[in-house]
Structure 1
Amino acid sequence: MRDILPADKARRESVLSVIRERYRAHGFDEIETPALEEYSRLHAGIGGDNEKLAYNVLRRGLDADTIRDAADDQSALADLGLRYDLTVPLARFYASNRAQLPGVFRAIQIGPVWRAERPQKGRYRQFVQCDIDIIGDDSARAEAELMVASLDAVDALGLEGATVRINDRRVLDWMLDSFGFSAEERPGVLITIDKLDKIGPEGVATELRERGAAASAVDAFEGFLGRPQVLEDNPYGERQIRTALPEGVPDEIVGHLVGIGDAVAAGRSASDIPLVFDPFLVRGMGYYTGTIFELAHPSVGYSLGGGGRYDGMIGRFLGQQVAAVGFSLGFERLVDLVTAGADAQERAVVLVHDADVPVAELARHKASLIAGGARVRLERRPKNLKALLERSAADGYTSFAAVRAGATELELKPLS
């Protein structure tokens, strides 16, 4: 968990304001959910490995004997927990407030989440997530709206050229079934397949055998990985999807993926579809039921966001199935990539005044600049003026003026 200094906070808020503005332009409405959720919801088996990283809150009034006797039963000790993502709270929010929401609900959620991560570079125990979700629409239009809005937000931040890698959990299930993997071993097989870009086909096959997966299924999968690759020559569409998969993939799934591409192309008003079909994209969350996707940018080797369809989650809280799909931007990673030139440059002035300048004069100068649209800070002139100006520039101020008693006009000078 980190303290955020003023300049960094201003930078973060600038990025957030761009994301909010673009998402609202695409018809999404912002909501807010509590930091705490009930323990039973956070540990309902739908949060994947994140459930293991949840911060739990002890029940009030527990005595030492109760804590000792229930040491191995977290549910007996805790009744609340800090949210580890924004998707589980959204499902609860929708189930609780459905009567007051439109039939197809487009939500923005931006806020901190907490996970008990091991401290390491790029892994924070408190971090901000930026999510958009569409609830109540099971068509390809929903995925396309999420992708177009997210690509638009990234473009507005000066990160043009992003693409979306896309797959479908139903494709993965069908493909593993066609190779001969049993339903019981698929979760472990998917964990290994998710390492394909790190350990390669040979490493995946070796690890699958070490896991004790069916030998014939591993052989079939290894043979498929070794086939000639021609995807580079195919734009996103039916041909690319079918070429990337074994023969016989269900037409319904292919049609849904193709429909997403057509809608994204129309929404982007471009002939090139910024999508890439990846048959081995897995994403670890267990609640995904259909399409899954990740945001990629050529400047970095890691994803800048992702999401997928989770049609089964809301039904856990509501008692009936409701279609849902979401996209989460990796805000902490985006902030690091956005260049200083992309930040909104405000007019920010430091008024450096002598000790004998009357307070009323300082107030008058400050009020005049604020009325003209500037941000103004008052600073008493120190012995080391250079250090003060360097610190002010680091804090985002763009100019300064020396204020002396009786001055009627100020001369603004740039800080750079």
Structure 2
Amino acid sequence: MASPITPPRGMRDFLPADKARREHALGVIRRSFAAHGFDEIETPVVEDVALLHSGLGGDNEKLSFGVLKRGLDGDDLASAIESGDILSLTDLGLRFDLTVPLARFYASHRAELPPVFRAIQIAPVWRAERPQKGRYRQFVQCDIDIIGEPGQLAEVELITATAAALDALGLKDCTIRINDRRILNGLLEYCGFAEARWPQVLISIDKLDKIGAAGVVAELEGEGADSAAVLGGILEKLEPHVADGGVELTVEAITGILPDGVDTDAVAALESLAHALDSLPSGVTLRFDPTLVRGMGYYTGTIFEIAHPGSGSSVGGGGRYDGMIGRFLGSDVPAAGFSIGFERVVDLIEVPTGETADSIVLVYDPTVPLDRLLAVKSELIASGRRVRLEKRTKNVKAILDRAEAAGFGAFAAVTPETTDAASLDIKALG
């Protein structure tokens, strides 16, 4: 349990310099997404608990925070604990991602939206994770989604816009690993797994980079999967390719590492996607990864993740989820999305130092009349500068060091002789 003076576990405070860094990155991402024709929306931080536990969120549903109904008493709680049905005490829950709320949003406002809707959502989400490095209980997601476009144009636009955002952030050496759920399903069918087992088998395959092929086989055999050994043999052959970052997105390269009988349409679609994306920024590479799963159960086609050598985990991901919105409307609506893992990306970027050029600290003498001090400050603000007032003390160096750490680029002394902004002797910090 957190002490009264620290944030709850898995949640963080941000000092001004950290907050400025985050806002810089968020601004870059927003502008990049908007330049590609996406419109920003906002949804509530809570949704009906029935929606959050409707099977759309996969394993993340188990990590959702519930909000207790109003008016409950001790007997209600005791009864729910005894029956093991704590969920019955909640009617709302904090969102655990932005995709499920988007599906509800689209179902609510479909008549007011264009036939093909391009959405931006940048907001915090909450999961009852076990806190560890790079994994928090409250974190920001930066999502773009395209609803209503059944063709590859959706994937092309999503990947192009995301790659542009990464490039604008100055993040180089990114690899977008791509797979298709149809290829994965064909692989499981080839191995002889019953379709009912596919979701659990995919969860085990998703751990390949952590536990290896032998670990995947052991986990599946422990659950009584008779086809685990066949899958293990295939995964052992694929591991070297995965370790090398995958293979080229061509029919020859893909079919060359997979068993016969994979979904040829899905393979051809991946090659077509690669051709359409041949003009991505130089810092972004596309590769086929046959073991890429993406943990969410709602994906139906192309899936993708961003890998970066500076991070031990993916820094973004997404895919096509054509069946989700139909759960609300009764008819399928094509949809695809891409999410940048903001908390991991923001630790990898450098904030341009030029952003401090228009910020100034005025170190003022206590004898300066307030009206004159504020007039000088207002004049600088009107010229486009960011201005902070600091009372002069004996240790001026400490004031200036603190100002520089806070992102200010210049300072000036305000004395009783100062008449206006033009009379200031402005000097650079650092």
- Cα distance in 1 for partners of 2:312, 2:28 equals 24
* Matching of residue 67 in structure 1 with residue 77 in structure 2: yes
Determine if contact 1:35/1:83 at 8 Å carries over to the other structure.
yes
Q: Does 1:264 align with 2:277?
A: yes
Q: Does 1:412 align with 2:407?
A: no
Structure 2 counterpart of 1:112, from 111, 124, 134: 124
- Asked whether the 8 Å contact 2:249–2:270 carries over to 1, the reply is no
Indicate which of 314, 317, 341 corresponds to 1:303: 314
The superposition leaves residues 1-28 of structure 1 with CA deviations (integer Å, 9 ceiling, x where unpaired) of 2222111111111101100001001010
- Percent identity of paired positions between Structure 1 and Structure 2: 57
CA deviation profile, 1:57-98 (whole Å, cap 9, x unmatched): 111122332232233323421111111110010000000000
Alignment-mate amino acid for residue 414 of structure 1? A
Distance in 2, Cα, partners of 1:57 & 1:234: 46
Residues 316, 17 of structure 1: alpha-carbon distance in 2 compared, 3 angstrom cutoff: same
Moved more, 6-15 or 272-281: 272-281
| Misfit runs of 4+, over 6 Å | 228-233
Counterpart selection for 1:293 from 297, 304, 321: 304
Aligned residues: 412
- TM-score (structure 2 length as normaliser): 0.91
2:326 paired with 1:315: yes
Shift of 1:160: 2.3
Superposed, which structure 2 residues align to 1:26-175 within 5 Å?
26-71=36-81, 72-175=84-187
Matched, 1:241 2:266: no
**Alignment equivalent of 1:6, drawn from 11, 16, 22:** 16
Give per-residue Cα distances to partners, 1:211-247, cap 9 Å, x unaligned.
3211xx3332233234486797963222222123211
SS at match of 2:67: strand
- Which stretch has the larger CA shift, 12-21 or 71-80? 71-80
Match of 2:335 among 324, 329, 348: 324
Residue in structure 2 matching 1:177, options 186, 189, 193: 189
Matched, 1:360 2:360: no
Whether contact under 8 Å (1:15, 1:343) holds in the other structure is: no
Q: 1:347 aligns with which of 358, 362, 365?
A: 358
Q: Supply the distance in 1 between the matched residues of 2:391 and 2:111 (Cα, whole angstroms).
A: 57
Counterpart in 1 of 2:395? 384
CA deviations 1:224-271 (Å, max 9, x no partner) are 2344867979632222221232112222211221222122225x388x
Residue 160 and residue 181 in structure 1: after superposition, are their counterparts in 2 closer, same or farther (change >3 A)?
same
- In structure 1, what is the equivalent of residue 198 of structure 2? 186
So what's the TM-score if we normalise by structure 1?
0.94
Name the CA distance, whole Å, in 1 between partners of 2:398 and 2:58.
50
Aligned residue for 1:112, secondary structure, equals strand
Structure 2: state its 5+ residue gaps: 1-10
Residues 80-121 of structure 1, C-alpha deviation per residue, up to 9 Å, x if partnerless?
Answer: 111111001000000000000010100000011111222322
Residues in 1 aligned to 2:285 and 2:250: alpha-carbon distance in whole angstroms: 11
Range 122-131 or range 297-306, more displaced:
297-306
Range with bigger deviation, 273-282 or 16-25 = 273-282
2-side partners of 1:128 and 1:111: how far apart? Answer: 5
How far residue 343 of structure 1 moved from its aligned partner, in angstroms, is 7.4
> How many angstroms does 1:273 deviate by?
8.1
Structure 2 distance, partners of 1:307, 1:276, is 15
Equivalent residue letter for 1:110: I
The 2-side partners of 1:161 and 1:54 are apart by: 34
Matched AA of 2:297: G
In the other structure, the counterpart of 1:335 is: 346
Aligned mates of 2:265, 2:106 — CA distance in 1:
29
- Separation in 1, partners of 2:241, 2:221: 28
Secondary structure at 1:274 match in 2: strand
In structure 2, C-alpha distance between the alignment counterparts of 1:342 and 1:389, rounded to whole Å: 17
Distance 2:278 2:266 in 1: 19
* Distance in 2, Cα, partners of 1:44 & 1:230: 37
Q: Residue in 2 aligned with 1:250? A: 263
**Which deviates the most, 360-369 or 135-144?**
360-369
1:398 corresponds to which of 405, 409, 413? 409
